């Protein structure tokens, strides 16, 4: 019987051999025509303290807000979009629930700008990996039902017993398999710079440039790099972005510092970005008071 490392080596060879038959060409910087255009959305994660999170099995009676309430609030803020984070969708999903959310957003004149899942694609072959891929495929179908054109996905942390290059190959293979499914529903999977094996821009681009699918791109998170120059890393990643999460802080080696929002948006504008900018509020102030203020500030910056 082959050793685990020999099995991973065989997997890598099979992955490389099959890449030519993948679902699309290697991901290149996105070619766009016309000037940069940005529309404003809000992530439901911004109100995580008020929403029941299915991952924690929070009691429904403890929640002060539902996703329907969140959509109503996005409408009251005069937004263009609403990001319906999957964590706040009940499990199992009640019949008609996603369609009702889609209708509610439409009645407010809102686009469902996207959704998000908390997957890990670095597991070696086995039940854990199978579950992550199956859940991602299930959410591709749910995204189509709710009218979300993009799902922001994660790569994952390095698993015990694997090297970074092995983890990257496993991640790329899982992304390509899920992208093949996503293409059937017209959904784009957008990898977020979210730590783990994509902690830096170089690590992120190593994955991005290896994936072969037209249904794959980048979810550009302005607050997740932790280097001495996060703006340089954001600039390197911006040409591949189809969705942009905007935080009120940026990372640094010593911790979060206030974001220079004109500089953040300027990086997107210089890259010719066309799409949603999604406020994802993560600070300690009550989101009911902080979010409207930050949305006003972000609206002013993107309208310049």
The yes-or-no verdict on residue 6 having pLDDT over 70 is: no
Beta bridge partners of 65: 51
The reported pLDDT for the residue numbered 57 is 57
The yes-or-no verdict on residue 243 having pLDDT over 50 is: yes
What is the rounded CA–CA span in Å between residue 69 and residue 64? Answer: 9
Average pLDDT of the chain to the nearest whole number: 91
DSSP 89: S
Mean pLDDT, to the nearest integer, of 45-68? 82
The reported pLDDT for the residue numbered 250 is 96
pLDDT band at 55 (very low <50, low <70, confident <90, very high): confident
The yes-or-no verdict on residue 155 having pLDDT over 60 is: yes
What is the rounded CA–CA span in Å between residue 192 and residue 92? Answer: 26
The reported pLDDT for the residue numbered 86 is 97
The reported pLDDT for the residue numbered 56 is 76
Tens digits of per-residue pLDDT, 107-134?
Answer: 999 999 999 999 999 999 999 999 999 9
Nearest alpha-carbon partner for 188 in 127, 119, 139, 248: 139
> Which CATH architecture does the domain made up of 34-302 adopt?
Alpha-Beta Barrel (3.20)
Tens digits of per-residue pLDDT, 60-83?
Answer: 446 899 999 999 999 999 999 999
What is the rounded CA–CA span in Å between residue 88 and residue 179? Answer: 24
Looking at per-residue pLDDT, the higher value among 303 and 56 belongs to 303
Q: Where are the alpha helices (DSSP H) in 56-200?
A: 67-76, 97-107, 127-146, 164-185
Q: What is the CA radius of gyration of the chain?
A: 19
Mean pLDDT, to the nearest integer, of 282-286? 96
Domain extent listing, the chain: 34-302
The reported pLDDT for the residue numbered 63 is 80
Give the Cβ contact number of residue 112 at 10 Å: 23
């Amino acid at each position: 019987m082959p050793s685990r490392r020999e099995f991973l080596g065989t997997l890598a060879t099979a992955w490389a051999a099959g890449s030519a038959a993948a679902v699309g060409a290697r991901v290149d910087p996105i070619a766009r025509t016309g000037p940069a255009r940005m529309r404003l959305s809000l992530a439901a994660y911004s109100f995580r303290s008020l929403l029941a999170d299915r991952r924690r099995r929070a009691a429904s009676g403890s929640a002060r807000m539902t996703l329907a309430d969140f959509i109503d609030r996005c409408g009251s803020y005069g937004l263009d979009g609403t990001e319906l984070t999957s964590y706040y969708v009940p499990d199992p999903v009640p019949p008609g629930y996603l369609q009702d959310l889609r209708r509610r957003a439409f009645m407010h004149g809102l686009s469902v700008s996207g959704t998000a899942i908390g997957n890990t694609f670095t597991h070696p072959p086995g039940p854990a990996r199978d579950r992550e891929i199956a859940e991602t495929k299930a959410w591709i179908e749910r995204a189509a039902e709710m009218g979300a054109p993009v799902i922001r996905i994660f790569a994952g942390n390095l698993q015990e017993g694997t090297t970074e290059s092995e983890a990257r190959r496993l991640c790329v293979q899982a992304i390509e398999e899920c992208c093949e499914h996503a293409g059937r529903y017209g959904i784009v999977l957008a990898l977020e710079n979210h730590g783990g094996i994509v902690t830096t821009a170089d690590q992120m681009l190593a994955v991005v440039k290896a994936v072969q699918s037209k249904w794959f791109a980048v979810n550009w998170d302005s607050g997740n790099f932790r280097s001495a120059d996060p703006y340089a890393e954001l600039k390197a990643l911006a040409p591949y972005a189809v969705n942009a999460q905007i935080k009120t802080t940026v990372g640094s080696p010593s911790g979060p510092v206030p974001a220079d929002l004109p500089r953040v948006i300027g990086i997107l504008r210089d890259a010719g970005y066309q799409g949603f900018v999604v406020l994802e509020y993560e600070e300690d102030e009550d989101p009911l008071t902080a979010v409207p203020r930050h949305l006003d500030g972000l609206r002013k910056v993107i309208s310049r």
